[in-house]
Amino acid sequence: MHIHLPKPLHGWREFVGEVGIIFIGVLLAIGAEQTIEAQHHRSQVHDAIDKLHAENVENRSALNANVVGLRQSQATVDTDLAALENCASASSFGHLVPVGQSIVLFPTDQTWIGVRDSALLPLLPEQMSDTYFKLNTFMDLMEPGMNDLYAARADAEARVEAIRHGLRDQGTCRDAVVQLLRLRIKQDVFLKNAIALRLFNEQALRGERLDAVAKPAGLDISTGTPKPKG
């Protein structure tokens, strides 16, 4: 049996050559790993962007329904205010209609929350992360207004139903008018915000920056279109 011992290195040149080969091999392995990781991150970011886009498309129907429902509810309030006629006569009280029960469908943001709280956030394009931060902030700011709207509607509805069921004294009528006017104001504010949110959702779908959130004066939220310049 023959045992082959490793041959000793002869000189520094051969030693450096061996070390260089090992070093290059390590660099190649690290580079390959980084390349695979970068490709994986690009795939994750692309998937996240697709899901954010799909969430915006899904929210479009809810946002459109909110605008339509709020306008219909406003119409019932206007009908009741006209029927009460400043409580001058009870003859028109029969024209009272139930206050519109529009349901506000709040858009979903679970995809954005997942991306925001993950390691993917720094990898998103800067403008996209800025857009979704603003969109999510605007949604959060709208939530207290939605609660106020529901409370005002409950108060107005109770007064109107009391009159429709025969409680037609002047005090009840005046209270109903006040509550209906309060509800109408809440509806106006929330409708403008709902139209603005619908516009912002469309801007996000188009990949635009939501400058209107920072500069509300540049947006005509009564129509949901940017104000003309000049």
- Taking only the tens place, the pLDDT of each residue in 29-40 is 565 555 555 565
Per-domain residue ranges of the chain: 15-226
Q: What percent of the chain shows pLDDT beyond 70?
A: 73
Window from 54-58, 92-96, 127-131 with minimum mean pLDDT: 92-96
- Give residue-wise pLDDT tens across range 168-216: 888 899 999 999 999 999 999 999 999 999 999 999 999 888 865 445 4
Identify which of 10-19, 33-42, 47-56 has the greatest average pLDDT: 47-56
Taking residues 143-152, report their average pLDDT: 92
**pTM for the full model?**
0.74
230 alpha carbon, distance to own chain's centre? 30
Nearest alpha-carbon partner for 69 in 201, 224, 195: 195
Alpha-carbon distances of 193 from 1, 11, 148, 187, 230, rounded to whole Å: 90, 79, 13, 10, 25
Tokens standing for 187? 């509806």
CA 103/CA 17 separation, integer angstroms = 76
Q: Residue 49's pLDDT band (boundaries 50, 70, 90)?
A: confident
Q: What is the C-alpha separation between 212 and 142, in angstroms, rounded?
A: 15
Report the amino acid identity of residue 62: A
Residue 4 has pLDDT above 90, yes or no: no
Residue identified by tokens 């309060």 is: 182
